[in-house]
Amino acid sequence: MRALRIALAVGLPLALLIPEDGAEARRRRFDKRAFKLEYRGALDRFARGQAEGALRRLVELESSVAAEAESDLDPLWKAKLSVIRDLLGSSPELLVPVSQLHEQAYLAYLERGAYLLAGHSRALTMELAELYSERVPGSRGDRVASEVMTSMAGHLHAAFVHSRAAALYRRAVELDPSNGAALLGLAAVLERQGEYERALPLLRNMVKIAPGDAEGRLRLAVQLIRVGDPEEAERVLSALIDEKIKEPRWVFSLAYQELARLLIDREEFDRAVEVIDAATRALRGDPTLPILLTYLSDRARRPSGKAELTSALREAGRAEADSPRYRYSQMPRQALQQLRASLRGECAAQLPLLAEALSEEPALASAGGG
Amino acid sequence: MTLDRFAGALVLLALAVTAPARCQEESPARYLGVPLAEALGDLQARGLPVIYSSDLVRPEMRVRKEPTASSLHRRLDQLLAPHGLKAQVGPRGTVLVVLRDPEPILVAIEQPTPFQSVFERVEVKALVMTEEPIRKVDFYLGEELVGSLTQGPFHLEVAVGEANIDREFRVEAFGRWGGFGKAAAMTRRVEIEAEMEVALKQLFVTVDRGNRPVLDLGRESFTVFDGGERQTLVTFERGDVPITAVVLLDASESMKGRYLEAALAGSHAFLATMGRLDEALVMLFADRALAVTPFSGEAAILARGLDGVFAGGGTALNDHLYASLRLLDRTQGRRVVVLLSDGADVLSVLRMRDVLWKVRRSDALIYWIRLQEKMQEFSSAWRDFRGNRAEWQGLERAVKESGGEVRSLDEIGQIRPAFEEIMAELRGQYVLGYYPTRPRSDGAWRPVKVVVDQPGAKVRFRAGYIDR
């Protein structure tokens, strides 16, 4: 009680002396002109190939604006969009590198635990993608915007933020129905939510667009089993197994495993042993296959050694890579990596355009506008 | 926490596995094959204050294995270990490179197995686990040195003769830095009564009243029914039948940190109370086996086999439970699996019904120490809500049918007592033996029932077996 009295006596007068710190005061303190100049500086560094320095400058600049709610970041949003719209007169293509810088800022904020700014950067990246699809005519506009959306969806997917990832993947597919990474990503999210019937048509599309994509074919076969079409699943899996080059290995391991599972369900243990025996020879060092082979040998009343099982289990402990079944439960990485590589190429190609636009812009006069 | 903050926290977790979409990328340092001193110099340049003497880190020493750890300290450990060196905290935050102390070498004889009968020639397979380079491994038959190997695999063919006698095999391993380890295995003469033993059914029965074990019952207190028919007990023991256990520890991502530490401490407590003839194998698993020790009666050796294992990955519980039961096939004594997990299966290729098939053909008891009271409903990449629930319930059923028990814990402080209680329960079990009056060998399920004449007593036993 005594402590409370002291706190009241000392704290209240002190509180009256503390300067006003509400949203209104922060808005008043935000110097739009200086911010826009600094922002242009960050973009300029990025345009000149100094990706790390540009990111550092942008993060420092945005972090210096005190924010406790999303609305506190409205002035930043407006200022940045104003700079970007001024630059757009030169070419909408420069939106690609700008969106990439903001995607990087999103990751940097997450790393620092600055979630408000991370959400802000994610929203701005999406806004720039939409702007790009509006401004760039024809399929290119939609394709690149769809790629930017997919890349961002991939970050959310990797972090198990499934509903948001699904929303971005969906928009990416709307923009470009032939975006394989988005189709695969959305299907993977739906299958994780137990929505097998909804995942199936996406995977059928994916396989039609990219018949050589092994992961797409595997996921299609798994969905076919789940919706009760084992015959078609067996055809897809057998065709996959017959491929000469068995890469990526985890996909092929699972193709063998899922085919064996179909045979287990039909109690065809001898055939299942043959399938997994062939898999073990084709994919040495796989951690799941020896256990499955031992089980199948047990069921088929064939001899299988305990020493071999022990040694395979120990071998699994030394393996560096994730197990195939774990790998499947993660988001589809390969298609996303290819998409991001393509985006990096687009980004690098448009950097000179951004540099040129920034050099043409009158430095101080227009920096205050918008 | 707002949705954004929550989403952000999760995304942060995933950053390590997400390739950044930068216009530029950098590659990590590679050390394999470069002089060790040079690699240490690189760590110094990266900010790790390493101090070493050129007597210990000699110019001819080269990095033998690429370090995989991300932290500089762990990378230093990985660089030094193959050379018999280790890092030690020095003055003012420095890190000193010093000689490692000789450590016991883990040795196990994988073949011949204990109680196996051997004649003529037998291949003795020794498993030697250590980071220390091996100087030699000696093989003994009784007191006679029968061979010596200087490099693995440590497999030696030994002529043992045709006599039907008990034999002792011994293996002794010597490391280059002074480490030493040994193991022995006894093989048995063929017993003439062996054919009769095959038909003997053994039931392991736990009796308690009000959660307190009832330990003073005599043979006359028990009545056994096999396939509905009353049986005559021919053997009756309590507690003193040797145990062969698999301690199966979930080391998936969710067990990271203090959960895995508590699980290991609990398993150590279990192993430390093993009897003279008891043996155990410890397996840490996630979506794959992370560490597997050999079967051994030495708690210290088993503990050492688990050094340096880090939790990570998903949970393939069914696959590793099946593997545990399979490893217990044809082992001696009471077979037990003690499984500790904080959740259910997520990633196995085997379903619980496949494991149940094995449970019904194995004599092993399964104890499941689970770190949650009720199942959390979840959907995963491999199964929907319904599928995951079925797997959880299937595991509960398998445990019950085996004659074991599910022990649900509220907090990690209860892990060690749970392990200790299981060992105490095993020590207090009654072992009832009988020859089934009507063996059919028809592959059908034979239900078993045990009744005790103690009012209020609860009896736990295997629900039945497949008559093969």
Q: Which of A270, A294, A290 is CA-nearest to residue A280?
A: A290
Measured CA distances, A109 to A63, B16, B437 (Å)? 9, 14, 74
- The ipTM, to two decimals, is 0.83
Tell me what pLDDT residue A361 has.
Answer: 55
Both B397 and B294 in one domain: the answer is yes
Residues of chain A neighbouring B288 (CB-CB closer than 8 A): 287-288, 316-317, 319, 323, 326
Both B343 and B278 in one domain: the answer is yes
Residues of chain A neighbouring B309 (CB-CB closer than 8 A): 317
Please tell me if residue B116 touches chain A, with a CB cutoff of 8 Å: no
3-state secondary structure chain B: CCHHHHHHHHHHHHHHHCCCCCCCCCCCCCCCCCEHHHHHHHHHHCCCCEECCCCCCCCCCECCCCCCCCCHHHHHHHHHHHHCEEEEECHHHCEEEEECCCCCCEEEEEECCCCCCCCEEEEEEEEEECCCCEEEEEEEECCEEEEEECCCCEEEEEEEECCCCCEEEEEEEEECCCCEEEEEEEECCCCCCHHHHHHCEEEEEEEEECCEECCCCCHHHEEEEECCEECCEEEEEECCCCEEEEEEEECCHHHCCHHHHHHHHHHHHHHHCCCCCCEEEEEEECCCEEEECCCECCHHHHHHCCCCCCCCCCCCHHHHHHHHHHHHCCCCCEEEEEEEECCCCCCCCCCHHHHHHHHCCCCCEEEEEECCCCCCCCCCCCCCHHHHHHHHHHHHHHHHHHCCEEEECCCHHHHHHHHHHHHHHHHCCEEEEECCCCCCCCCCEEEEEEEECCCCCEEECCCEEECC
Last residue of a domain, one of B70, B99, B128: B99
Both B268 and B231 in one domain: the answer is no
Tell me what pLDDT residue A365 has.
Answer: 42
Tell me what pLDDT residue A150 has.
Answer: 98
Residue B269: exposure state from Cβ atoms within 10 A (0-12, 13-18, ≥19): middle
Domain ranges for chain A, please list them: 19-136+345-370
Please tell me if residue B68 touches chain A, with a CB cutoff of 8 Å: yes
Tell me what pLDDT residue B122 has.
Answer: 87
Tell me what pLDDT residue A24 has.
Answer: 55
Tell me what pLDDT residue B152 has.
Answer: 86
User: Can you list the residues of chain B whose pLDDT is less than 70?
Assistant: 1-29, 114-115, 190-198, 373
Residue A20, pLDDT above cutoff 80: no
Residue B82: domain span: 29-99
Please tell me if residue A151 touches chain B, with a CB cutoff of 8 Å: yes
Tell me what pLDDT residue A25 has.
Answer: 53
Both B51 and B110 in one domain: the answer is no
Please tell me if residue B154 touches chain A, with a CB cutoff of 8 Å: no
Tell me what pLDDT residue B7 has.
Answer: 44
Last residue of a domain, one of B99, B115, B150: B99
The model's confidence at residue A1, banded by pLDDT at 50, 70 and 90, is very low
Both B295 and B163 in one domain: the answer is no
Size of the A and B interface in Cβ pairs below 8 Å:
176
Shortest CA gap A115–chain B (Å): 5
- Residue B2 included in any domain: no
The answer to whether the Cβ–Cβ distance between A159 and B11 falls below 8 Å is yes
Please tell me if residue B404 touches chain A, with a CB cutoff of 8 Å: no
Tell me what pLDDT residue B444 has.
Answer: 87
Please tell me if residue B225 touches chain A, with a CB cutoff of 8 Å: no
Q: Which of A183, A177, A180, A215 is CA-nearest to residue A199?
A: A183
- Residue B78 included in any domain: yes
Residues of chain A neighbouring B380 (CB-CB closer than 8 A): 192, 329
Both B235 and B348 in one domain: the answer is no
Q: What is the mean pLDDT of residues A280-290?
A: 89
Please tell me if residue B111 touches chain A, with a CB cutoff of 8 Å: yes
Both B293 and B408 in one domain: the answer is yes
Residues of chain A neighbouring B20 (CB-CB closer than 8 A): 104, 107
Residue A353, pLDDT above cutoff 90: yes
Tell me what pLDDT residue B191 has.
Answer: 55
Both B316 and B392 in one domain: the answer is yes
B77 CB-near residues (< 8 Å, 6+ apart): B69, B86, B87
Both B419 and B365 in one domain: the answer is yes
Domain count, chain B: 4
A 313-342 near B (Cβ less than 8 A): 313-314, 316-317, 319-320, 322-323, 325-326, 328-330, 333, 337, 340
Do the Cβ atoms of A305 and A270 come closer than 8 Å?
Answer: no
Shortest CA gap A18–chain B (Å): 27
- Residue B272 included in any domain: yes
Task: Pick the residue from chain B with its C-alpha nearest to A156.
Answer: B11
Both B210 and B252 in one domain: the answer is no
Both B388 and B434 in one domain: the answer is no
Tell me what pLDDT residue B178 has.
Answer: 83
Both B112 and B93 in one domain: the answer is no
Rg for chain A, CA atoms, rounded: 27
